[in-house]
């Protein structure tokens, strides 16, 4: 019998297969408001075309959204884009771009708890949409850096002015980036890794 | 121009309606943790709801060719993960919600048809050699 080959089954391209030696994965979460450039950043550094995982949330609307007064049960599909970077033959890094609303984070087991850390991506035109995210990461003890995605028409603030406005302690890195550029997005991830490394070092000394 | 100022949330000032940060316990109980959302999709799973702790980035690898006993979805899944694939990637390629995906995979783990390679999760004190490995990997980009 002629077996229809894998082109009928959705799946990775042959060159996107991970080696059999891949033993474990780590993840970093990129979190920010709608349209801030999360998916752009994931796509610019990912070795695979960004993919989307979805989850369906069915629960009563209890005033957590804009639909006040709506007490009826609503089903919402929440999507999260992600990409992948092979670190070594054994280790894989996944990047998830997730909406800023905390109620979505519970849809995926341990999205933040299991992550190495997070990048809070902000847009200076709408700084306030990221305020809540930072508070929630702080409460959860998730280490994060802040990346300012530079939009041409966005106001430019000196970093220290931003630090004051965001009420961030001096050790938390704030960097400007262009999420469309691979090198720039890579630098954001490197900044996070160096920050995590410094936390590990200081923790080891105490 | 001055940027808007963030005001830190004070727990005692939290006058907003409580967010569903800890969703109500699922009606079916089982082995659900506190952080699960109720009313997950179990439609594709024939199991009793018991699920392994699968993370988005748990790597799944097939251990055998699909036997005739498995469902069509599981057959496709087994063919997909002849090379390691994360639960998130399987969810994307099969166009199934994450919760449905984990239910499907749990059955395959129980049937010893797939192997799950657990992710490395953040600890109180991160492993420096792990962080350095990731940094070296990123530098090659």
Of the partner residues B1, B56, B134, the one whose CB lies closest to the CB of residue A87:
B134
What's the CATH architecture for A28-62+73-205? 3-Layer(aba) Sandwich (3.40)
Domain coordinates in residue numbering, chain B: 59-117
Higher-confidence position of A124 and A9: A124
Of the partner residues A9, A109, A189, the one whose CB lies closest to the CB of residue B76:
A9
- Say what the ipTM of the complex is: 0.86
pLDDT digits (tens, 9 = 90+) for A129-158: 888 899 989 998 899 999 999 998 999 999
B89 in contact with A, Cβ within 8 Å: yes
Q: What is the 3-state secondary structure (H, E, C) of A17-63?
A: CCCCCCCEEEEEEEEECCCCCHHHHHHHHCCCCCEEEEEEEEEECCC
What's residue A80's pLDDT?
93
Of the partner residues A20, A110, A155, the one whose CB lies closest to the CB of residue B84:
A20
According to DSSP, residue A143 is labeled -
Domain coordinates in residue numbering, chain A: 28-62+73-205
Residue of chain A nearest B5, judged by CA positions? A165
What's residue A74's pLDDT?
73
Q: How confident is the model at residue B34 (pLDDT cuts 50, 70, 90)?
A: very low
Of chain B residues 13-32, which have a CB less than 8 A from chain A?
A: 17, 19-21, 23
Alpha-carbon distance A182 to nearest alpha carbon in chain B (angstroms): 8
- The mean per-residue pLDDT over the stretch B46-67 comes to 78
Contact A124, A154 (CB under 8 A): yes
pLDDT digits (tens, 9 = 90+) for A54-68: 998 876 544 455 444
Higher-confidence position of A34 and B81: B81
- Contacts of residue A135 in chain B, CB cutoff 8 Å? 6, 8-9
B44 in contact with A, Cβ within 8 Å: no
pLDDT exceeds 90 at position B35: no
Q: B59-117 — its CATH code?
A: 1.10.10
Contact A30, A118 (CB under 8 A): yes
Name which of A90, A81, A80 is nearest A18 in CA terms: A90
According to DSSP, residue A7 is labeled G
Of the partner residues A9, A109, A165, the one whose CB lies closest to the CB of residue B79:
A9
pLDDT digits (tens, 9 = 90+) for B63-117: 999 999 999 999 999 999 999 999 999 999 999 999 999 999 999 999 999 999 9
Higher-confidence position of B1 and A47: A47
Helix H or strand E encompassing A3: none
Q: Do B97 and A88 touch (CB under 8 A)?
A: no
Report how many Cβ contacts below 8 Å link chain A to chain B.
Answer: 221
* Partners of A81 in the β-ladder: A52, A97
Alpha-carbon distance B113 to nearest alpha carbon in chain A (angstroms): 16
Q: How confident is the model at residue A106 (pLDDT cuts 50, 70, 90)?
A: confident
Instruction: List the single best residue of A59, A108, A129 to mutate versus B (max B Cβ within 10 A).
Output: A108
């Amino acid at each position: 019998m002629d077996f229809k080959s894998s082109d009928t089954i959705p799946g990775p391209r042959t060159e996107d297969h991970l080696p059999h030696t891949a033993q474990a994965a780590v993840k970093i979460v990129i979190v920010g408001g709608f349209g801030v450039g999360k998916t752009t950043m994931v796509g610019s550094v990912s070795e695979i075309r960004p993919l989307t995982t979805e989850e369906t949330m069915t629960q009563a609307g209890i005033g957590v959204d804009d639909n006040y007064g709506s007490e009826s049960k609503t089903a919402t599909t929440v999507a999260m884009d992600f990409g992948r970077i092979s670190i070594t033959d054994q280790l894989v890094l996944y990047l998830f771009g997730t909406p800023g609303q905390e109620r979505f984070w519970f849809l995926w087991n341990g999205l933040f708890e299991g992550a190495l850390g997070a990048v809070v991506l902000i847009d200076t035109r709408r700084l306030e949409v990221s305020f809540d995210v930072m508070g929630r990461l702080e409460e959860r003890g998730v280490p994060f850096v802040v990346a300012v995605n530079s939009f041409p028409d966005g106001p430019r603030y000196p970093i220290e002015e931003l630090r004051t406005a965001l009420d961030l302690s001096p050790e938390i890195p704030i960097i400007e980036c262009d999420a469309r550029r691979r090198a720039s997005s890579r630098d954001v991830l490197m900044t996070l890794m160096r920050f995590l490394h410094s936390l590990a070092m200081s923790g080891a000394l105490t | 121009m001055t940027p808007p100022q963030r005001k830190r949330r004070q727990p005692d000032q939290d006058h907003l309606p409580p967010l569903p940060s800890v969703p109500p316990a699922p009606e079916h109980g089982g082995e659900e943790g506190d952080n699960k959302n109720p009313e997950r999709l179990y439609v594709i799973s024939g199991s009793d709801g018991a699920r392994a702790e699968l993370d988005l980035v748990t790597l799944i690898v097939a251990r055998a060719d699909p036997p005739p006993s498995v469902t069509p979805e599981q057959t496709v899944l087994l063919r997909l993960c002849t090379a390691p694939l994360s639960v998130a990637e399987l969810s994307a390629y099969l166009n199934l919600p994450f919760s449905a995906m984990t239910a499907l995979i749990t059955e395959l783990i129980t049937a010893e048809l797939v192997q799950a390679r657990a992710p490395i999760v953040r600890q109180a004190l991160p492993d420096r050699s792990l962080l350095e490995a990731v940094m070296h990997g990123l530098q090659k980009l």
